[in-house]
Each structure stands twice: as structure tokens, then as C-alpha cells.
Structure 1
Amino acid sequence: MERAVPYRSDGNRSEENKEEISMERKNAWSQYSAEELSRLEAVNEDYKACLDAGKTERECVRLTIERIEKEGYKNLKEVIRNGEKVQAGDKVYAVCMDKTIAMFHMGTKPLEEGMNLLGAHIDSPRIDVKQNPLYENDEFAYLDTHYYGGIKKYQWVTLPLALHGVIAKKDGTVVNVSIGEKEDDPVFVITDLLIHLAAKQMEKKASTVVEGEKLDLLIGSRPIEQDESLEEKEKEAVKANVMKLLKEYYEMEEEDFLSAELEIVPAGKARDCGLDRSMVLAYGQDDRVCAFTSLFAMLDVEAVEHTACCILVDKEEIGSVGATGMHSRFFENTVAELVALTEGESELKVRRTLMNSRMLSSDVSAAYDPMYAEVFEKRSAAFFGKGLVFNKFTGSRGKSGSNDANAEYLAKIRNAMDAQAVAYQFAELGKVDAGGGGTIAYIMANYGMEVIDSGVAVLSMHAPWEVTSKADVYEAYKGYRAFIEEM
């Protein structure tokens, strides 16, 4: 989708914005000129289009490659294959298993002086289809499922759902699947018990009112047409009909489920929310709101001193594990390739590059919700419309599992944001004993680099439909660009 107007602003504060910043943050909406409001809407329209096109990590990577190649980014594998060198101003990217991508805009300073890194994750809570999923039960056809990430299971019943993913066949072909997003597509559903018979169900805890094994996807109810003259009829006629359709549409056999990755997500597009259209309602904003605004920032920066990098990773919602999670060596190996292409192979220079880098671990923050004020501490809460959120620490209770950014780095961050008039706030995730959460920050901090958590405040985080403020989406884009240019 083409941008309606350029995003870039000159970064100068308007006259009314030049007063000293106080601890009490102003609502960003009250600070915008007509020109800024136009840019804000352009960013958010682009953002919603990306959300619609990228409902899975594979789709996000595919969309990112399409966009960055138009802006001159080259696949690092091709650069290596062609024996090319990499120099200042070059733009390259690397992909891991079509689920994680790292892009680099090379700076004028040597890599070993460090990079400015934007890191976000592109996986989101969802429901996955199992490897032997299709079955029939009393003339209903279902797909057996396993939920992915932290969800409230009861939120996923009775919603229109879509099926996204890939089917990999033994001959090496891979078929993309997306059913439920077009207006004339069928959708799917997970059923719930009617209220008239739910007396015992309503007595259960929220965590068990819908059990994981009852999250199976209703996929069909019509039996296959059979020749009445045949002596032996199809015993599972509804399942047979589903397989007939899958064969017709995707040349798929039932065994192909074994090598398929199919994800169940809410069907429907990102929408403006509120009569004032000030918010975005969409699936997967944790953490694609940070991922796509980071991408926008990368595409808008011009010449940089320190190499700018944006890495969009998979598996954060289940611990950043596996080959495509932040714990893998993919990023480190890619940096080693870049060092070799710019300064020659050197393990020491790779270590220096990582240690001397600075990072925004960009993940969403819990927005203050007055409906549930009891779990928030207002002085340290993130508010809608008050800009990009920085979390000095995350973790739970006694900061367990947290990267705790140091004070000197926080001061540099504040200076970078103020230099480009970015609205920002500092917050933590609810009251001390209320719970908590983590990000990829502590993983990258293992290299000795400076890292802080930053992101956008979200209402209904991890629900099928999440809410963000358009102002915060815009300020996140501005903040990520400022970080790349000013640090």
C-alpha cells in the first residue's frame, strides 16, 4: 500500500511544545498541527494494511521482504554468493526459515563501534492445528488444535476464525493457505455451550471454563455425496467431504497435514475504533504494532553513522526458543557474516560489534484500563495517547526475569527522543504483586549491549482483538526513527 503522504517531520518542536517537559505527560493529540495529523493518519492507514496482510509470522516476513526490496535491500545470501563487499549506505537483509528477518542499513562507522538495533517479535497468541488433526464426531468435522502463547481460552469461542499457513508436500512444493479473510470466503468457529445448559460450566474458574481440548475448530457438517447403489457406504462422510474439498483446492492428501503449519486467527480486517476514530482494533497488535512501526522507521532513515538494524523474530510468545526465536544463533551468525564482508573475518570484532550496540527491545506495554484500575499503579502506568512507552525493567514481582536498563542509557534515550519531539512515557507492567511479563531484552543484554524495553500501550493485550491509540502508533514510528538517527 502506498503511503498517502511522507511520514517524516522536521523534528522541531512547535512554539507551544517548547516548555520544559514535566513528569506529567500531556496527551499527544493536543499537540498536533494539521500537518502532523495528516501524517499520523497516513502512518496508521499503512499500519492497518500491514496488519491485514501479516497475520502470521510467515506473512509478516513475506510482506517485509516485498517492501524492503523496493527500497534497495539485497538478500545477504545473494551478496555472499556473488562475492560482493558491503560498504556504508548498503542495505541488506537475512531470513531464517521464513519466520524471522534481520535488515541492516550500513553506517559510515565500523561495525565494531556498535549498531542501533530495533527488535520486535512477529508471532502472536493464536491457536495451532495439530499434525493429525482432522476427525469426525457425530457428523461434524473438526480440526484438533493446540493453543500457542498465553491466551484466555474462553475469549476464542464463537468468533469468526480464519485459517492461515502453509502445506509442505513430499515433492518439495509449499502451498500457502488463507481461508476466511475475503468477503466471500467461509469462516470457521469454535463452539460454546448454550447458556440454558451451562449451569455447571458457569461455576468453573475462568482458566477452565473452556478447556484446551475443547478448542477444536468446526470445519464442516455436510456429508459427501455417495452412490446409493453402493453396498458399502463411507463411514465418515463429513470428514470425507472435507478432504474432497481440500484435494480440490490444494491438491492435498490427509497425510499432508503431517508437514503443514496451519494457524487459526480471528477473521477480519483491522478497523478504526471509536466514534472519533482515534484507535485501532485488530488482531496481533502484540507485537506487530512495534514490528511494523520499526519497519517504517528503517525505511525512512537516510544516511546513518552507526549501522541501523531491525530484527523481527518468531517464538517470543513461547519463550523465544527454537531456530527462529531470539535465543537462536541466527542473529549472531548474520552479524559475523557482515563483519566478514566489511572488515574481514574476526571473532573478536563480532563480539565487539554486539557488545557496543544499543537496542530498543520493542514490545507492547499494558495500557492503563480504568475498568480494571485495581491492578495498576497510576504513577507508573502507561496511558493511551501519551506516546511511546519505555520500561526500565519488566519481569514479575521482584523484577524476576528482567533486563534492568542502566541510568546512563536511559538519559541518552531521553535525549534522543527530545531531539526529535517524540512523545514518550516511562511505565511498568501493573502493580508489583499483580503479575508481570518479559520480552527479548534480557537475551540481547547477554552480549553486554545496552538494552531497554520500549513499545506501544495496548488494551486487551493477548485477546483476539486488541486496541491501540493511533497517536501512540505514530509516536512509536517517530521514536524508532529518532533512536536510529540520534543514538
Structure 2
Amino acid sequence: MAAKQHTQNLLDFIDASPSPWHAVNTAETLLKPYQFIKLDETTRWQLQPGGRYYVVRDDSSIILFVLGTNPLLETGFRLVGAHTDSPGLRVKPNPANGKDGLLRLGVEIYGSPILATFTDRDLSLAGRICFKNAQDQIDSQLIKFDNPLLRLPNLAIHMNRTVNEDGLKLHKHTELPLILSELSEQQLPSDYFLSLLEKQSGIDSAHLLSWDLAVYDTQKGTLWGAEEEFYSNSQLDNLASCHAALQALLDKEVLSNTENTLVCAFFDHEEIGSESNKGADGSFLPDVLQRIALECCELQDFPRVLAKSFLVSADMAHAYHPNFPSAYDHDHKVMLNKGPVIKLNSNHRYSSESISEAMFIDWCNQASVPYQRYSHRGDLPCGSTIGPIASAKLGIRSVDVGNPMWAMHSIRESAGVFDHDYMIKVLKRFFLAHTNT
């Protein structure tokens, strides 16, 4: 069935994307059959109506767009925003420690992962390394260890008798180093670690300068449940939204209808606040949108284009967990496989408001897709997304939506098979819609 096939494609996308740098690379691979042209931010652009383009900033944020044939002043931009990063562990600059005959890697917490879920998993490393190339220039390369390389073994219950009552608590500095190998007295920890990078990348360790390395779970994504109605993988938050937006944009009907200017913007650093040169709070999106607009408008017309535009901020939502009913507002429970969730918060932690909410509901109805509304418990702090950030920076109307999921920020998250198909359908409808309110 179509829903399961879309979900399997998502699982394959995530399995090929164990880091934000790999996620952008995988997205680029998906674009190749569709004749998208890669643009360089340092060069002058020459864009054609109906043309398909994309631009990458610092390897882990990407904006892709189809330039519409109708005037931008009439249509504005139709944007879907999501993020490529997920909470987890990142390798420190001087990570190797050889104490007690075991080589361990020091890690730093990135964002807000559920640390206990990293224990007793088959972990490995993926990311980006930087080095001096043969032309004596600084270069970078993706790197990924496919085999289980690392482990964070749990402490036996005999030494932690209250773990089932108090929960597993890991000291963020002393109890997170990951076991990599046994180490002989003759081996230097740093040399051993660099030799692993050299063997995997083919880059002489003497030329290695730095790295961005994420810890990831080597277990592949899977369908589960008696009817395979659920799926599980790492990084559903938020690669599931990136994949849904990509599938909607690359749909044959969407690409053959080039009236609207369509944009997908996938940012790194959402999990740590988005404040960077490639995050949603940086200049990447405004820079790209302005350069697109200046191909066909005067600079003074750019705010008029933004006033005609609309942003769907797509990020995952909290599904109701029946084992923990007290964690939810009883009147705003959202369920797996019941459709995309419109996320609402009066303090504007989400960008949705009544008009954008109504517009998204209308697109759901047009696409014959069910929808749900979510509001957080009033006595619990609410998370946020790129929606309020990008909407405020650009001055455009926005709605925050996402598919419901369990175990957000776990190394192994779960969601509903039908919801992924629903999200693709409604985003496709959004791209094809003729007018904004």
C-alpha cells in the first residue's frame, strides 16, 4: 500500500542520514533525477521561471526551490520549513581517554536527548571531517562507520538497586564517555582514534584538522505492530518532516504545475536554538528569498512578496501515551494514525494563529486528510520550533504542524505509518493551492 511504501522510503532516508551533514547529502541525492541545479552563494545567480534550484550552507542546511511562472508579487512564496538536526551526543575535540586499559571517547550533549536511551545500544559515529588536501587547501568529507563501534553499558542493578524506582540518571560529564576498544600500554589513545578516522576516510591522519562527529544508533528503522501500522527509527524528529516535504515537492503533479514559487528550507541547529549562520534564526533563509525575489522584483517590492507568502513549519508532535495520561491535556490528546497535528500555544511558542490554522484545515479538507489540534498542559513548559523564529524574521504568516509520535528525543522514536502519508498529501495540496487568504 502507498502509506507503507512512503514510510519505508522514509526509513531508508533516515538510515542513510545518521547526521545533519548526511541528511543534506541524502536530500541532494534524491534531487538528482529531477534536474535541480545547485547554486553557489558566492556567485551571481541567473534564475529562470520554472527552474529548479537548491543551495547548501555549511553542508548541513539546505534550501531548495522551484521558481514559479506567475509573478512573485501575486503568489508570494509557499514555504515548508523543517530541521536536519536531532538531539544526541557529539564527539569532543580531544575525546580519547585510555584510563584503566579501555579506550573511551568523551562526548558532549547536543540538545536535549533522553540520555538513558543511549545505553546498551549498538552505537557508531557519523559526520564530517576537515583536512588539508593535496592542493594545501582546507577541505571536508563525510564519514560514517557502518559497524557498531561504541557502547554505553548500563550499570548492573546490583550496584544501582533503585534504578527501577528512581529511573536511570547519568552524570553528564563522568558517566557518558563511550567505550571504544581495549588499549595496550604501547598505544596512545589519540593516535588510535585518529588511525580509525584515517582508515575509514582514506585521509592521512597527519592531514586531519578537525571534525563534527555525531553518535548514532546502527539499528535500521522498522515497521512494527500487529498490522505494521507503526514505525520506529532514530531522528524522526525531524527527518520525518524533511522527508514528507521533499516527497510533496518532488511529486509529479507538483513539479508539472510551476505557477507558484515553492520552497523547502531544512535547517541545522534547531535543537540548540537556531542561532547560527545556518540556523532558522540566521540569515540563510532571508538571503535566499531576497535573491530569488530580486530576479524579478525591485528591492522595495521584497516586503510585498513576503506579505503574500506562507510558511508551514513542520516539526513532530507529542502523541498521547496511554501509560502516562497525566502528562497530557485531556481535551487535546492527539493519536497516532489520526492525521497531522496543528500545534497551538497562546504564548506563541508555536507560530499558529486562527487564520493560519483555518487555512491549514482547509488544505487538509481539500486533500481528504484528517487533522488534529494539540495544546500542551498548562503546568508544563512547552517546546518550540523554527516557526516563530522564521515567521518573525520574515514577517510572514505561518502555521506549526507535525505528525504525532512517541518517545520524542529518544534514540529510538515511534510514529504512525498512515500519518506520514497524510502529511505528504496535505503538503502537496499546500504547494498546489491557488490563493492565500
Do both proteins adopt the same fold according to a TM-score greater than 0.5, normalized to the shorter chain?
A: yes
Match of 1:319 in 2: 273
2-side partners of 1:237 and 1:148: how far apart? 27
Match of 2:181 in 1: 220
Match of 2:34 in 1: 71
Match of 1:16 in 2: none
2-side partners of 1:439 and 1:138: how far apart? 43
TM-score normalised by L of structure 2: 0.90
> Which amino acid counterpart does residue 312 of structure 1 have in structure 2?
F
1:42 shift after superposition: 1.9
Question: Any stretches of 5+ residues in structure 1 without a counterpart?
Answer: 1-37, 224-232, 394-398
1:80 shift after superposition: 5.6
> Which amino acid counterpart does residue 176 of structure 1 have in structure 2?
L
Larger of the two Rg values belongs to structure: 1
* Cα distance, 1:78–1:151 mapped onto 2, change above 3 Å: closer
CA contact 2:64–2:265 (8 Å) conserved in 1 = yes
The answer as to 2:357 corresponding to 1:410 is yes
Match of 1:159 in 2: 121
1:249 shift after superposition: 3.9
1:109-152: per-residue Cα shift (whole Å, max 9, x none)? Answer: 22234111111111001100011111211110111110111122
2-side partners of 1:175 and 1:74: how far apart? 21
Match of 2:388 in 1: 442
CA contact 1:269–1:282 (8 Å) conserved in 2 = yes
1:376 shift after superposition: 0.9
1:365-419: per-residue Cα shift (whole Å, max 9, x none)? Answer: 00000011111123212111111111133xxxxx445245332332222222211
Task: Please state whether the residue corresponding to 1:138 is helix, strand or coil.
Answer: helix
Higher mean C-alpha displacement, 259-268 vs 362-371: 259-268
The answer as to 2:205 corresponding to 1:253 is yes
Match of 1:478 in 2: 425
2-side partners of 1:249 and 1:105: how far apart? 37
2-side partners of 1:466 and 1:203: how far apart? 23
Match of 2:62 in 1: 101
Task: Please state whether the residue corresponding to 1:150 is helix, strand or coil.
Answer: coil
Q: CA RMSD in A?
A: 2.3
CA contact 2:369–2:422 (8 Å) conserved in 1 = yes
Question: Any stretches of 5+ residues in structure 2 without a counterpart?
Answer: none
The answer as to 2:78 corresponding to 1:126 is no
Q: What pairs up with 1:271-286 in 2 under 5 angstroms?
A: 271-286=222-237
1:10-47: per-residue Cα shift (whole Å, max 9, x none)? Answer: xxxxxxxxxxxxxxxxxxxxxxxxxxxx2212211211
1:425 shift after superposition: 1.4
User: Which residue among 387, 399, 409 is the counterpart of 1:462?
Assistant: 409
1:191 shift after superposition: 2.5
> Which amino acid counterpart does residue 410 of structure 1 have in structure 2?
E
* Cα distance, 1:131–1:414 mapped onto 2, change above 3 Å: same
1:470 shift after superposition: 0.2
Task: Please state whether the residue corresponding to 1:437 is helix, strand or coil.
Answer: coil
Match of 1:5 in 2: none
CA contact 1:143–1:217 (8 Å) conserved in 2 = yes
The answer as to 2:38 corresponding to 1:91 is no
User: Which residue among 39, 54, 58 is the counterpart of 2:21?
Assistant: 58
CA contact 1:157–1:215 (8 Å) conserved in 2 = no
2-side partners of 1:209 and 1:138: how far apart? 20
> Which amino acid counterpart does residue 178 of structure 1 have in structure 2?
K
1-side partners of 2:361 and 2:198: how far apart? 57
CA contact 2:22–2:142 (8 Å) conserved in 1 = no
> Which amino acid counterpart does residue 332 of structure 1 have in structure 2?
P
TM-score normalised by L of structure 1: 0.82
1-side partners of 2:175 and 2:116: how far apart? 10
Task: Please state whether the residue corresponding to 1:458 is helix, strand or coil.
Answer: strand
1:444 shift after superposition: 2.0
* Cα distance, 1:482–1:238 mapped onto 2, change above 3 Å: same
> Which amino acid counterpart does residue 336 of structure 1 have in structure 2?
Q
**Alignment identity in percent?**
23
Task: Please state whether the residue corresponding to 1:311 is helix, strand or coil.
Answer: strand
1:253 shift after superposition: 3.1
1:275 shift after superposition: 2.4
> Which amino acid counterpart does residue 405 of structure 1 have in structure 2?
S
CA contact 1:153–1:210 (8 Å) conserved in 2 = no
CA contact 1:403–1:445 (8 Å) conserved in 2 = no
1:231-258: per-residue Cα shift (whole Å, max 9, x none)? Answer: xx73x456654544444444453883x5
